[in-house]
Each structure stands twice: as structure tokens, then as C-alpha cells.
A and B are shown apart, each in its own frame.
Chain A
């Protein structure tokens, strides 16, 4: 696929089943975030060839809001701020948009607040932050925890975590990992995009894929990540270049 004139992903074959956690690792510019954004249906990214099936449906036919309502959630690498709209109001609106899509009744504020409180506690987020505007004046760590909080409330069937660990200190990392692990479920799949092996000590994946220059150079179990840590991405680059596109 390409963005504008540049081709970023040059051929990806990937299958993720329900209940599985896959990690996508790779050096800067390999296309990890691009892959995440394509799955989340960012429209400025053009898929030139190939197909993406989500629960048997053609994902490329879906608008971002429909993909979201069908159960796809992305924890953004750089969450934006929305002045004037509180976190609580925003999250309840999102939840209700999804509930409406599924033919469920909307949740009013009275029912929503206990739910929000429960999840906020899990992620050690001060309730007061919920009355602030979305991500406004949040620290990097708070923003990332807020993403996982939203995930916990919206209960997606496919969660894509785009470099959720970037900018987190050890304690924040533990809290985030705890939140993510609490969401592991036989009916839920996760794709964890990361640079560093460190996160994968806390969120142990079932499969690891290494993305280099827009292609999956190799795949393996959790120890592939440890190997990478030892040998570095450059050891994979030769493999990537010689790999024939699927």
C-alpha cells in the first residue's frame, strides 16, 4: 500500500485468530504504525493490492467509524486533545455510538459512571481527570493509560496497540500491561506494535513478527523478540531483502 506517492507496505501476509496476541516489531520506518493505521482504516492510506478480512468481512470496505463499531480499537501512538469535551462525555458518546450500531440501548450517565470508575481504578487514573477535556494537559504516561482505559470501556474484539510503550516509565508500563493483560480473552485478538522487547516481558505475545522495509522478514514465538534484542534489527534486514514477496 502507499501514502500519496510512497509505497510503504510491500506485501504483508498475516493471520491473527481470536484469543491471540501478536506482536509486530521493527526498526523506524519499517511500516509498523502504517500497518496499524491501515487496520484502523485511516483513509489517507491507500491499499493498492490485497485484501484484509476481519471476521470474514472485507475490512477495506469499511469506514473508520464502522470498523470501530464492528469491534476494532486502536490505542494511538500520539493521542490528540479535544478542548471543551470531557473524557467522560467523549467516552460515553463513543460507547453509545457503538451500542446504537449493535441495536443496544444507550447508557445514560448514571449507569456509565460506575463502569468508568471501575476501569479508571484498574488503570490507576484519578477520577478527576475524567472531568478534564480529552487528553488536555495529560502527561505522556497519562495519555497512554487513557487509551487503555478507553479500550477497557469499549471492549473491542480486535485491539491494536500502536507503540503504547513509547514514553512510559517502568511503573506506568506495569500499569498499562496489567490493563492490557486483564483484557485478554478467547474472543479478543490483539496486535501489539512496538520497538522494544521490554514491553513484551509484560505482555507476552503468542507470535512475534518482524517488519523490515515494509515486509515481514520473519515470524516466531516470544523468544524471537529476545533474539532480536541480542542481535538487533540489522540482522534481519538481509533476510528481508532476500525474501520473495508472498
Chain B
């Protein structure tokens, strides 16, 4: 963790140095959404013309949907109506309430940081406490960026990419998730603030995991983030999103979009650990995480893997998916979704088999505790031309306690007779017998539950980059506190 801590300190100092370059003076943007707000956002970010055009088209499309009351309502989740006109769609990055010391922070959050083993300096950064950044002559972030630059790998904020690499952005933006895709994707396309942009050139294997930690403005929770990752022919990249620390945000709705494109023989591995504020024990507050994530295996022999550990948010609504267009392409989805207290999750994946001899693997583990409602929704679609398609799906639910729920909605559409599909599902409870067995061997209840849950999730944790896997295990333990006994 210490390399990260050093880097974060560096970046914290940089944020204050660079700030957010605004040509227009800092002004308070009133809540609400209109074409003017869109123009303001685009101008503040100094975007090229094509970006503004795209945003406006998206906005008009979204507005028509909104007018027609076309907000999707089919998911197995309940939430009060969102007032889109009361959201502030643009705020300067340092708008987080500045605390003077960690003592001002909610003691519960502080105790979570401790349990997750987050170093003190990073706790301060996460809490918005001003960090005394010590200037190091050897900067980890600089070395990192130099190495990437040598290889021609572009890894920067979306905003920077729009300015410095407009041709790439223009070529790929919206090709996997067009602004017409769905209600929230339209909204995102209109008002997205920032996100990551990655381009890996032909034949390059990105030498280290790209993490949002290393991106400027990582500290700020993007309400509407947009990420675009392109792996050119024969390249490989592993990207890590999120962190285990619980993040609070006054903004309740988070509607991000992530687009991945893998060309011939390229591979993208995208891992997420999400622990957004889930609301209190009574289910009040908490973030709505409505995300559209999709990867296109455009090239032959390409591969895209999604691995996610979702323990936070009041409501999680997302289906990281793969479009298996290229011949022999492979899509994978490994997921652990936890709902405790009053959290709700409707998550899963879509694997669309288009090309020949494509393969997809789905391993979804749902854990419900407290009054949590956990839904797996998956679609495996084999199109007519997808000869020789193969799919393996395993979805398992673990119930802890008497008040929670686990639901499964697997959809299978096969239009080609040579397809081979395997589907396994199981539902289990953490039984008294199991718990007693572990306790009789000396383990406390909390540790026993943690052990059983980790065993349950092992198959998914194995797919995470090691550091993330260790954090994810701790995170699961913390998220399940108080769920048994």
C-alpha cells in the first residue's frame, strides 16, 4: 500500500497546483438540466465542437424519453422518483466540504477505514482533509507515466483525451454504448463530467495495472463518469476501478458509462471493487449506482473479462456485458454482489454471441443479508450466425438470516442449433450447523461468517488482481458485520 500512498500524496499536491483550468470564471451552477447547462459543461471543459454536438443530441434524446415517462421500471428495485431538475450537474472539483481534521469525520466511517487497513494519510485524502503533501524528488506517478509514455500507452482523464486525442475519442465514443442505448446512458452522454481514457497501441502489453488511483481527480467521485478503453490489435491491459473505502457523496444518483473495445487478438481485463455509501441501517440515504458497462470484442480472438465486487450503494443496477462479434472471441463475467440492511441489487450481465466459435463464462455470486434484496439478471443471446457458440453460467445465492431475498432471472435466447449452453444455479443459507461447526473449532461468529462467505466467493476473488483480492476479502467481512447473531 505504501507505493499508492506516496503517489496519492503526490497527486493531492498536484490537484491544488493544476486545479481545473477554467476559462470562464468560477460560478455557481444552479441545479437543473437544460441545453444551457450542457453548453456550460462543455465550455468549462474546453471541449472540441464534436463533443458538444454529441452531448446536445444525447440531451435532446433524453429529454424526449423523460417527457414520455420512459424511465425504465422493470428492474426488481424500488426507489422514490428522481427529480432530475434538482441535481446540480456541474461543480468544481474542490467543492467537497473540507474538514480540518479526521476527528470531524463520522466516527463510523473512520472505524471502517481502520478495519479496512487504510493508511492514515489516505484516510485524510478520502475524507477531504487537506493533505500536507511532501514533495518527493522520486515521484512514483511520474515514473509510472513515463513508462507508459515510452510504450505509447495513453492513460489520462477523459477530458484531457478529448483535448489531446480527439481523433481517437471521436472514432470510438458511443460505438459500444450509443447515447440512444438507455435512459441513463442518454443522461450520461449529455452531462458526463469526466472519467478515464485508455488507449493501448498495437502489440503492447501494458506493464502494470492501470488504476483510478493514478488518475488525476480520482479523489472526486464522478457523479456521471464516462470511461473509454481501447485495446488495439494484439495488446493487453488490466484496469482497476474503485476502492474499498466507503465514499460518501451528497449526489445520490451515479449513472456512469464504461465502453471497452478490444480489436484483433487484444485483451481487456476490467476489475471493479465498489463500496459506495450504502445508506444507514434503516435504509436511509445511500447512493444509486445505475451503470451501463459494455465491452465489444470487435476483433478475432479478442477477449474481455469483467470482474466485480459490489458491496456498496443503496441500489446497484448494472449489467457489464460483452458483445462477441469477432470470431473466436471470449467474454467473461465474474461477480460478487452483496446486499445487507436495506440495500437492493439488480445486477448481472449480457453475453451477445454474434461471431463464430465465441465463448462466454458467467460466474455470479449473490450474498443477501439483513433485509437485502439481491437479483441476478442475465442474458445469453446466441444470434443466427453464431455457429459453435458456447456458454457456461453459474449463479449461486447465499442467504444470511431470515429477512433477505435472492432472485434469479436468467434469459437464454438461442437462434443457432450448434450452440452449447450450461447453466447451474444454487441457493444456500449459512446454516446453524455450519456456524456451530466453525465456532466449536474456536472461531468467533464474525470470523466464521467471513470464512464461509469467502469460501463462497473464492471462484470470483481468484480473478481479481492480488491486491484487490485481499482488499475485497476484508471488505466483505466489514460489510457483513452484524448480519448474524
Give A residues with C-beta under 8 Å from B. 40-42, 44, 63-65, 67-69, 73-74, 76, 78-80, 82-85, 90, 93-95, 97-98, 101, 133, 150, 154
Contacts and interface: CB of A to CB of B under 8 A. Distances in A.
Interface stretch (B22-30, B338-346, B439-447): B439-447
A89 B101 CA distance: 41
A74 B433 CA distance: 13
10 tightest A-B CB contacts, nearest first: A84-B455, A94-B441, A97-B442, A85-B455, A84-B458, A64-B439, A68-B442, A98-B442, A65-B439, A80-B437
The binding surface of chain B is classed by DSSP as: helix
Contacts of A41: 440
A38 to B, nearest CB: 12
A37 B64 CA distance: 66
Interface in B417-457: 431-434, 436-445, 447, 451-452, 454-457
B455 to A, nearest CB: 3
Given A83-B456, A90-B451, A76 B437 contact: yes
A93 B436 contact: no
Nearest to B459: A84
B441 A80 contact: no
B434 A82 contact: yes
B451 A65 contact: no
A97 B455 contact: no
Contacts of B459: 84
B443 A93 contact: yes
13 contacts: A42-B436, A65-B443, A68-B440, A80-B431, A80-B437, A82-B438, A82-B455, A90-B438, A90-B451, A93-B443, A94-B441, A95-B442, A133-B455
B239 to A, nearest CB: 26
B441 A97 contact: yes
B432 A82 contact: no
Contacts of A93: 443, 447, 451
Contact of A79 (B431, B432, B437, B445): B437
Interface residues of B, number: 23
Contacts of A40: 436, 440
Contact of A84 (B431, B438, B442, B457): B457
B444 A65 contact: yes
A65, A67, A94: residue with the most chain B Cβ atoms closer than 10 Å:
A65
Contact of A68 (B441, B452, B456, B457): B441
A31 B452 CA distance: 30
A95 B441 CA distance: 8
A41 B268 CA distance: 51
A69 B442 contact: yes
Contacts of B458: 84-85
Contacts of A154: 441-442
A63 B445 CA distance: 10
Nearest to A86: B455
Contacts of A76: 437, 440
Nearest to A67: B440
Given A63-B439, A69-B442, A150-B441, A80 B451 contact: no
Nearest to A41: B440
B451 A82 contact: yes
Contacts of A69: 442
B442 A94 contact: yes
Contacts of B439: 63-65, 68
Contacts of B447: 93, 97
Contacts of B438: 82, 90, 94
Contacts of B441: 68, 90, 94, 97, 150, 154
Contacts of A90: 438, 441, 451
B230 to A, nearest CB: 36
Contacts of B434: 80, 82
Contacts of B442: 65, 68-69, 94-95, 97-98, 101, 154
Contacts of A73: 440
A73 B442 CA distance: 9
A240 B266 CA distance: 78
A150 to B, nearest CB: 7
Given A94-B443, A154-B441, A84 B432 contact: no
B285 to A, nearest CB: 33
Given A65-B439, A83-B455, A97-B441, 9 more contacts: A64-B436, A65-B442, A65-B445, A84-B457, A85-B454, A85-B455, A93-B447, A150-B441, A154-B441
A84 B460 CA distance: 11
Contact of B456 (A67, A84, A98, A150): A84
A40, A44, A82: residue with the most chain B Cβ atoms closer than 10 Å:
A82
A41 B445 CA distance: 13
Contacts of B432: 44
Nearest to B448: A65
B246 to A, nearest CB: 26
Nearest to B436: A42
A98 B441 CA distance: 8
A93 B441 CA distance: 9
A68 B439 CA distance: 8
Contacts of A85: 451-452, 454-455, 458
Contacts of B445: 65
B433 A80 contact: yes
B335 to A, nearest CB: 16
Contact of A74 (B440, B443, B444, B452): B440
A104 to B, nearest CB: 13
Contacts of B431: 80
B334 to A, nearest CB: 14
A80 B443 CA distance: 15
Contacts of B444: 65, 97
A67 B431 CA distance: 21
Nearest to A135: B437
B367 to A, nearest CB: 13
